[in-house]
Structure 1
């Protein structure tokens, strides 16, 4: 699928790409409305409407991904709520074999995530993800989400990357397009970010649902 001899760095999203997105979807779409309903004495239906409006207002911005923002906006202890669901934080079963193979082939493995640093730290604490990575960058460190071209400029400069020699893997077509627009040479979509939901369809980028499909070509190089 890719000319691995021309790729020296693999940029990897976290949620839905290396970790099962079920944790985040359940948290934001189920637990948060339930907790709002309980604390504000409103119906669950009204709570769902409230968060949907709040989410839509900042979708695609850095605030969308900020636990601090949502703690103030919804007046909930978002991090404490996260900790009640740590048993749902799970690596995709194909992530570590792929990351290990990349390391064996001397490919630099950089996590590039929109996750808030507190969320990132919690997920690293409850998985072995860090063992398969060489570097990490949260968009909150740059001041821009991955949707913004300035994120990519910061990334390339911080790690002295040649974007033409990078492969970027993500479960969001919008963010894959942002990476392509920024000059990243290769993009790959993940069709099954949430193990509890149907697969997504990518129209503009190559995509897979299992990293094992890449291992034969990768290890042959």
Structure 2
């Protein structure tokens, strides 16, 4: 038997079925919501589904993916973030991002041109260029409508739109600003933590560990030592046998 009882189960997917599966069986669920209000809504919805499965709120973690850009000042970080976004989103990347929403082959569209005037295909076929895709947006038609309005208001091309509306939460600022923003999200029940995705790998996490983690530790919201040897321990999740015993006793 595994030292942690069973592997930690992560669920990715924003459909009602995906949320239900997370509530019934997962240890953590990814979240793509980048604003505090949207994060709080997702957090509340998923956590409220747990009770019907005899589970407590702390038995499922909400963990958005998050990138970060640090600078000595907030202004310096903002300038660096703009440059990083331009470098990360190529024309091909922008088109592929739109295909997740449109559920169509959009390879004939110019990434430096306007958004497609056709609507997304909302059928159950989530196949794009031969690869199965998980539906990332609950309402593709509403998303397309919102994006067209944004693009028209700001004179954005497809690539501009993707650069400006990336799904991932971005923490941008000085170390103090980033530490405060992360803590605000957790304290406001918008997440239980974050899966950090540095823009440079594998060394990109070093600066976060050196400059932000100590500030979070000073605030008492990040551990100063590990509580056990397994991933389950690191995440603060109960071992399956412990969780079963607690449910039986309640």
TM-score (norm 2): 0.24
Q: Which protein is bigger by CA-based radius of gyration?
A: 2
> Of Structure 1 and Structure 2, which has the larger fraction of its residues in helix?
1
